[in-house]
Amino acid sequence: MTTLTAPLSIERIAKSRISEVDFQHLEFGKFIADHMAIASYANDRWGEPKIVPYGDLQMSPAMLALHYGQAIFEGMKAFKMNDGSINIFRPHKHYERLRKSLDRMCMPDIPEDMFIQSLHTLIHLDRAWVPDSEGSSLYIRPVVFASESRLGVKVSDQYLFIIMNTPVGAYLNKPYRLKVEDIYVRTAEGGTGFAKCAGNYGGAFYPTQLAKQQGYDQVLWTDHKDHQYIDEVGMMNVMLMIEGKLVTPKLNSAILDGVTRDSILILAKEMGIETVERRISVDELADGLKSGKITEMFGAGTAAVVAPIALINIHGKDIQIPVAGAQSFQQKVKQKLLGIRMGVLPDVHGWNYIIK
């Protein structure tokens, strides 16, 4: 691990744009906070990261990321704690995943201290952008992409690393309506599904648009071979309560290793609930919902947090999911997560990265 020699240089914005934001009605990604962290990679090394006003970049139309898709990102959140401190949730865990994504896409590793110091300096500077109403947060978006200008099909020699932030409210209040996908695939085992690379999302838009035209919010992706086993929702992992046990698809190279998924599995065990990571077939899902063995189904993701699922379409048939009341596991674990993030419950796992 390298150590940055000096604090990051900061170029401040002339006039903050924060007064343009309606913090009561936050829309995901609509407003980007005043500053961004930026570092460039060339000649086999990262330059010193710096903080600059958020703004447009100059780029070449031949920039490699545009043509061959070397682009990855992360999604984290910072919360305003009850004592006014700012808490970035599990940044080291997100960093580990960022490294895996970089590696899969043949992109250069980012030193941990460069990542953490850029993040810390940026969030401290833009701390006024962290909203404080319940369920709201500052969504942090690190992105790395190939910036070399060259049309040849090759691994880029130049990259940009940027962190930008957007204040967000509760991601979606309405429970999701999902459609089990049995034609298209998001990825395949051995592909890039476990990495947070831009192409995973771009390729998912078309089937998702089709599902939206049919009245659903998202698709539930299934295995690429015979669409028999469920993977994830693309924007979030999926979890089920089956006969009192928390069951979720076992990670493989087609499924993103969600930080919220991981946190919920840990909290469930502490709550005395058995957790099972295994393959879950579409048939088991349909039968379990019909028989009542499955009592809850919800999504887990950084943006979505814990997202109730109201309905699932399986092979053309809509099946209702039981409504999650205040005593449901998903509501209880959501409150627990919130309590830890806000500093109301003890942070026994050291998940909170607190900026005073």
The 10 Å Cβ neighbour count of residue 291 is: 9
Give me the 193-232 binding string for ligand COI, x by CB under 6 A, dash otherwise: --------x-------------------------------
Q: Which residues of 241-263 are buried (b: 16+ CB within 10 A; e: fewer)?
A: bbeeebbbbebeebbbebbbbbb
Do 165 and 126 form a contact (C-beta atoms < 8 A)?
Answer: yes
Stretch that binds ligand COI, among 100-108, 159-167, 241-249, 299-307 (CB under 6 A): 299-307
Nearer to ligand COI, 147 or 302 (CB): 302
Nearest distance, CB of residue 104 and ligand COI, angstroms = 16
Q: Binding residue for ligand COI (CB under 6 A) from 49, 131, 301, 308?
A: 301
Residue nearest to ligand COI (CB): 75
Among 53, 75, 111, 135, binds ligand COI (CB under 6 A): 75
Token digits of residue 351: 């998940």
Measured distance CA(218)–CA(207) in Å, rounded: 9
Determine the interface stretch with ligand COI among 14-22, 210-218, 296-304, 343-351 (rule: CB under 6 A).
296-304
> Where does this chain touch ligand COI (CB under 6 A) — which range of 60-68, 86-94, 216-224, 297-305?
297-305
Instruction: Based on the shown chain and the rule CB under 6 A, indicate whether residue 235 belongs to the binding site for ligand COI.
Output: yes
CB 102 within 8 A of CB 109: yes
- Supply the minimum distance, in Å, between the C-beta of residue 1 and ligand COI: 25
Q: Which residues in the 6-45 window bind ligand COI by CB under 6 A?
A: none
The DSSP H or E segment spanning 314 is: strand 305-314
Sign for the pseudo-dihedral over CA of 256, 261, 263, 267? negative
Q: Which of 302, 328, 330, 352 lies at the binding interface for ligand COI (CB under 6 A)? A: 302
Of 177 and 282, the one with the shorter C-beta distance to ligand COI is 177
For ligand COI, the closer CB: 35 or 261: 261
Report the distance separating Cα 36 and Cα 306, nearest Å.
28
- DSSP conformational letter for 309: E
In the list 162, 240, 303, 337, the residue contacting ligand COI (rule: CB under 6 A) is 303
Total of chain residues touching ligand COI, rule CB under 6 A: 6
End-to-end CA distance of the chain: 25
Q: Do 53 and 162 touch, CB atoms closer than 8 A?
A: no
Tell me the closest approach of the beta carbon of residue 75 to ligand COI, in angstroms.
2
Number of helices (H), then strands (E), belonging to the chain: the values are: 8, 18
C-beta of 73: minimal distance to ligand COI in Å?
7
**In terms of CB distance, is 289 or 333 closer to ligand COI?**
333
Q: Name 337's Cβ contacts closer than 8 Å, sequence gap at least 6.
A: 260, 263, 264, 267, 305, 306
Q: Which spans of this chain sit near ligand COI (rule: CB under 6 A)? A: 75, 201, 235, 301-303
